[in-house]
Amino acid sequence: MEDVLDLYAEPNDPLRPRVCFDECPYQLIRETRQPLPAKPGQAVRYDYEYERGGTCNLFLFLEPNVGWRHVKITDRRTKHDFAQCMKELVDEHFPEAEVIRVVLDNLNTHTPAALYEAFEPAEARRLVRKLEFHYTPKHGSWRRWVQRNMAEIELSVLSKQCLDRRIPDQPTLRAEVAAWEAPRNDQHATINWRFTTPDARDKLKRVYPS
Q: Which residue has the higher pLDDT, 191 or 81?
A: 81
Instruction: State mean pLDDT over 117-143.
Output: 87
pLDDT band at 204 (very low <50, low <70, confident <90, very high): confident
Instruction: State mean pLDDT over 68-74.
Output: 97
Residue 70 in contact with residue 61, Cβ under 8 Å? yes
**For residues 88, 93, 94 and 99, what is the CA-based torsion angle, rounded to 10 degrees?**
-40
Which domains does the chain carry? 2-31+51-207 (3.30.420.10)
Q: pTM for the whole thing?
A: 0.85
Residue 139: what pLDDT?
A: 58
